[in-house]
Amino acid sequence: MEEMEEQEQVNTEAVKLSGVTLHVADVERSREFYARIPGAKLVVHRPNIFALFEFGGMRLGLLKWPSPTFHIEMDTADLDAMHATLIANGITPEGPPQDHAWGQRDFQVLDPDGNILEFG
């Protein structure tokens, strides 16, 4: 019980999600894929080992390492325009934007390693 009381006193505002690192089979292939997403800014690149992008203040790392897939949610102000832009940039979404019963509208893209990018 004392441990729980200590946890309640922690300043939760001091912790925020700043980024995600995906384990990928081919860093260069993944770097080229993510570079085609509007707003991507490559900030670190160690060829064939690691790449780091910034997207609107958040970081996305790509690290050479075989592992299961991951799911990333990316918000955009104009979902239809983003869908069209990705297609124009050579990225094929899994389908058109869809409206869901719970009120969310989104579409998904798979990166070269099968990681799911959900745009909403």
> Out of 3.40.50.1110, 3.30.420.40, 3.20.20.100, 3.10.180.10, which CATH number does the structure's domain 18-119 have?
3.10.180.10
Q: Is the pLDDT of residue 13 over 90?
A: no
Contact 115, 70 (CB under 8 A): yes
Q: Is the pLDDT of residue 77 over 80?
A: yes
Instruction: Give mean pLDDT, residues 96-119.
Output: 91
Residue 19 one-letter amino acid:
G
Enter the pTM of the model. 0.71
Is the pLDDT confidence value at 96 over 70? Answer: yes
Q: Which of 29, 27, 56 is nearest to 44 (CA)?
A: 27
Find the range with the poorest average confidence among 25-29, 46-50, 66-70, 88-92.
66-70
User: With contact defined as beta carbons under 8 Å apart, do 85 and 57 qualify?
Assistant: no
Once rounded to an integer, what is the mean pLDDT over residues 87-106?
94
Distance CA 7, CA 39 (A): 37
The Cα–Cα gap between 26 and 13 comes to: 36
Q: What is the mean pLDDT of residues 16-35?
A: 90
Residue 11 pLDDT > 70, yes or no? no
Return the domain boundaries, the chain.
18-119
